[in-house]
Amino acid sequence: MAMAIDHLILGTWALSDRHWPNQLRSDSIKTIHAALKGGFRHFDTANSYGNGLAEQLLGQQLKRFYASIGRENLSIASKIAIPVDYHGTAKLIEKTLRRMCLTYLDVLYIHWPSSTRPVEPVLDEIMPFVENGRIRSIGLSNFPLSSIERLTSEYPIRYCQFPLSLIWRRSFDSIGSLCKRLNLTAVAYSPLGFGTLSDKHPTIETFSSEDWRRDLYCYKKPYIDVFLTISETLRQSASSIGMAPSAVAVAWCLSKQVDFIIFGARNRQQVEQLVHSLSVQIPEEMYNHLDQLSKELDALVDKDIDNPFFHRW
């Protein structure tokens, strides 16, 4: 099995956000350009990434390519959280469109549910934008199973976004079949496990003392031993077919038959490395071995945990 560029989305969380320190603006611009030149036509951002900086950066850079590629050939998505004042939803959307130099968004996601604020009033505020064509589709990001089913029966929701990687398959295992049944476009993010599955971060010591990823569950007991086995197996498997571990990790996610994978890169080289790997065939037995290890890791996690941060939303 080989990967296809049509199923890949460039994610922009790491391009302009405090959670990813030491990111140079010049590297972020080169990353977007490399993605466009490499064939990426799908892009994902959020108004919370860098407090709007990621939206602004992405919009400005994509606009430079409209003449050669055509806006109509790009799919651009952003996300908004549930605001305290529901009537502020329209202002959030207008601000996103202005930042991104857009007359319309292809997909607008509601980013994370809230245990204290219902989402329906936000969807009601979004609907006029759908009716006038300024929002082409609505999506849900990181919503639980029960909410997805209920909301899709009441609103024209077409996209569903959730995390998927070798270190976190649970969201897909529970939501993937629902997406097929409801005819939702399944979009998986963080195929590299927030960078833990790249060849740079096999152990916690490779992160700086301020890096939030040091607190991810996979670096703690009782998960660490299986995680290290996954990491080492991934590196050995990738080396045996001349690919980067990150590319094999992304390919494994695509083997789950989701519609799109969001690939978050921080520099041009990471994009070019992935694009270069698209034509490489990955043996079925390699997928199966990695798949079994991911199941072993998942089996260690309490059954009521539904996100890789072990956070109660």
What pLDDT, on a 0 to 100 scale, did the predictor assign at position 173?
A: 92
**What does residue 194 show for φ and ψ, rounded to 5 degrees?**
60, 30
Angle at 79 (CA atoms; ends 144, 112), nearest 5 degrees: 25
Residue 38 lies in a domain: yes
Does residue 313 have a pLDDT over 70? no
pLDDT tens sequence across 204-239 = 888 888 889 999 999 999 999 999 999 999 999 999
For residue 310, is it within any domain? no
How many of the other CB atoms lie within 10 Å of CB of 274? 25
The set of long-range contacts for 24-27, using a CB threshold of 8 Å and a minimum separation of 24, is: 25/57, 27/266, 27/267, 27/268
Question: Residue 65: what pLDDT?
Answer: 97
> Is the residue at 109 inside a domain?
yes
| pLDDT above 80: residue 147 | yes
Rounded mean pLDDT of 166-185? 95
SS (H, E, C) 84-126: CCHHHHHHHHHHHHHHCCCCCECEEEEECCCCCCCCHHHHHHH
Give the three-class secondary structure for 140: strand
**What domain count does the chain have?**
1
Could you tell me the residue range of the domain that residue 131 belongs to? 5-299
d(CA 20, CA 272): 20
Q: Is 309 part of a structural domain of the chain?
A: no
Pick from 17, 302, 298: nearest CA to 164: 298
CATH number at residue 113: 3.20.20.100
Give me the mean pLDDT over the 144-150 stretch: 93
Residue 308 lies in a domain: no
Grade residue 3 by pLDDT with cuts at 50, 70 and 90. Answer: low
Provide, rounded to the nearest whole percent, the portion of the chain with pLDDT above 70.
Answer: 98
Is 312 domain-assigned? no
Model confidence at 44, pLDDT cuts 50, 70, 90, reads very high
Give the pLDDT score at 85: 93
pLDDT of the residue at 312: 64
The chain-wide mean pLDDT, for the chain, equals: 94
CA distances from 224 to 138, 209, 221, 231, 311 (A): 37, 18, 5, 10, 19
Output 95 or 311, whichever has higher pLDDT. Answer: 95
Nearest to 50 by CA among 21, 84, 10: 21
| Torsions phi, psi for 83 (to 5 deg) | -75, 160
Instruction: Determine, yes or no, domain membership for 286.
Output: yes
Name the more confident of 208 and 296.
296
Predicted confidence (pLDDT) at residue 1 exceeds the cutoff of 70:
no
Residue 307 resides in a domain: no
Which residue(s) pair with 229 in the sheet? none
